[in-house]
Amino acid sequence: MLEKVTLKHIANDTGLSISTVSRALSQTGKISKENERKVFESAHRLNYPLATVRTPVELRKSINIALVTKHYTGEFYASLYEGFDQSTVNTKASMSLTSVSHTSSPVTQIISELKNKRFDAAVIFLPDFRAADYMELLDYMPGNFPLVSIAPIANPVMDTVTFDNYRGGYLVANHFEERGYKNLGIIQGPIKQSEAMLRKSGFLDYIHASDNLNLVWQFNGDYSFQKGKEAYDDFRKAKIKPDAIFCSNDGMTLGFMHSAIRDGVHIPGDVAVAGFDDLPTCELYTPTITSVHTPYDMLGKKTIELIFNRLKQSTAIQHSGYTSLVPVSLSVRESSTELSNVFQNYYQRFN
C-alpha cells in the first residue's frame, strides 16, 4: 500500500517548513513566488492531492473554460464555437459549450454553478443581457472566478472582448461609395442589442460625412432569415430604391437575396448587397456575398489571454467594464461588385 503524501513530505522535499508549505498550498499568508513554485512543483511530483483552483495557472495541466450562450441552430454559432475551439490550440485551455437555451433554471444560477463543475473560467455570450443582469451575475460569482463577456452593451459592467462593430458598418459604407453607389439602404439588427446599433452608427456616420451618399431606405430586422425576406418585400414597395444595401448580419442578407433573386432582381446589377459576419455560406452562395469579416479565432485568443491574466491574479477580480476591440475587415465579393461575364451571360440567357 502506497504511503499517503503529507505536508511533511513536501517540506522535506523542498527544504521549507511545514507552515510555509501549508501557506503556499492554501494561498494564505505571505510567501515568495519562488517558494510557492517549489511547493507546487513538489506537490505535483509527489502526487499530493491538490485543489486545482489553488494551483498557480502556470503549473496547471489544463484550464477548463465554459462558453455560455443561448445556442441556436445556424452557421453563426457553429463558426463562433469553431473559432474559440481553434484558439485553444497549443494552449492549456479547453473550451466547452454550455447552452442556456432550454432550461427552467435562472441563467445566473447556471453560471454560478460552473465552478462546482470543475470549470476555471467562463466566456459569456448573451446579447440579451443588460447592465443589471451582469451586475446580478457578478454578485452571484466568487471574486476569483474569471468571467469575460463577448457581447457588448452601451454601459459595460463586465470586462468585454468584442469585434469593432462600428468599424464594420463604416467599412461597408466606404466600399459602397468607392464602387460609385449613391443611394444607400440598411437592414438593421435588433434595436435593443448594442452591436447592432454600433454597426448602424458606423454605416450612417460615414454616409452623413459624405457629400456623395444618401440614406433612402431602412428596415428594422432581428438577424433572422425570415426578416431578410420581409425586408425584401418592404424594399420592393419603396418609392425610392437604394442602389446598395447593408444587411447587419449574414442571416438577413441571405433572406433578402433569396427573395430578390427569385423575384428576378439582379444582384448587384439592380441592387448591391453586403452583410456582416462573413460566414462560410458567403463564399458558396451565387452570387458570392460581400461581408464584414469577423475573425472568431482572434476573438477567442484575446478572450483566453484575458482569462489567463485574470487567473494569475492573487486578489479578487475587479470588473471595470474594460472593453477590447478585435479589428474587422471587409471581404469583397460579387454581391457588391460588377458581375463577371460568366454571370452576365447566365442572366441574359435565363432572364
Domain chopping of the chain, boundaries: 7-59, 63-162+296-326, 165-294+331-344
Calculate what percentage of the chain has a pLDDT beyond 90.
57
Which residues neighbour 96 within 8 Å (Cβ) at sequence distance 6 or greater?
64, 65, 66, 67, 119
CATH architecture of residue range(s) 7-59: Orthogonal Bundle (1.10)
Q: pTM value?
A: 0.81
CATH number at 165-294+331-344: 3.40.50.2300
pLDDT, tens digit (0-9, with 9 covering 90-100), for 204-239: 999 999 999 999 999 999 999 999 999 999 999 999
Residue in this structure with the C-alpha cell 452562395, named with its chain if needed: 285
Asked whether the CA dihedral 170, 173, 176, 178 is positive or negative, the reply is negative
| Res 85 pLDDT > 60 | yes
Which amino acid appears at position 312 of this protein?
A: K
pLDDT, tens digit (0-9, with 9 covering 90-100), for 321-334: 889 999 999 999 99
**For residue 248, how far is the Cα from the chain centroid?**
15
Question: CB of 18 within 8 A of CB of 8?
Answer: yes
CATH architecture of residue range(s) 63-162+296-326: 3-Layer(aba) Sandwich (3.40)
pLDDT, tens digit (0-9, with 9 covering 90-100), for 31-82: 787 887 787 778 777 777 665 545 665 666 788 999 999 877 778 998 999 9
Burial class (CB in 10 A: 0-12, 13-18, 19+), 188: buried
What integer pLDDT is reported at residue 83 of this predicted model? 94
pLDDT, tens digit (0-9, with 9 covering 90-100), for 296-315: 999 999 999 999 888 887 66
Which residues neighbour 224 within 8 Å (Cβ) at sequence distance 6 or greater?
251, 252, 255
Task: Give the separation between CA 65 and CA 98, rounded to whole angstroms.
Answer: 10
Which amino acid appears at position 168 of this protein?
A: G
> What is the helix, strand, coil percentage profile of the chain, to 5?
45, 15, 40
Q: Count H helices, E strands: the chain?
A: 13, 12
pLDDT, tens digit (0-9, with 9 covering 90-100), for 151-178: 999 889 999 999 999 999 999 999 999 9
Examine domains 63-162+296-326 and 165-294+331-344 and report if their fold is the same. Answer: yes
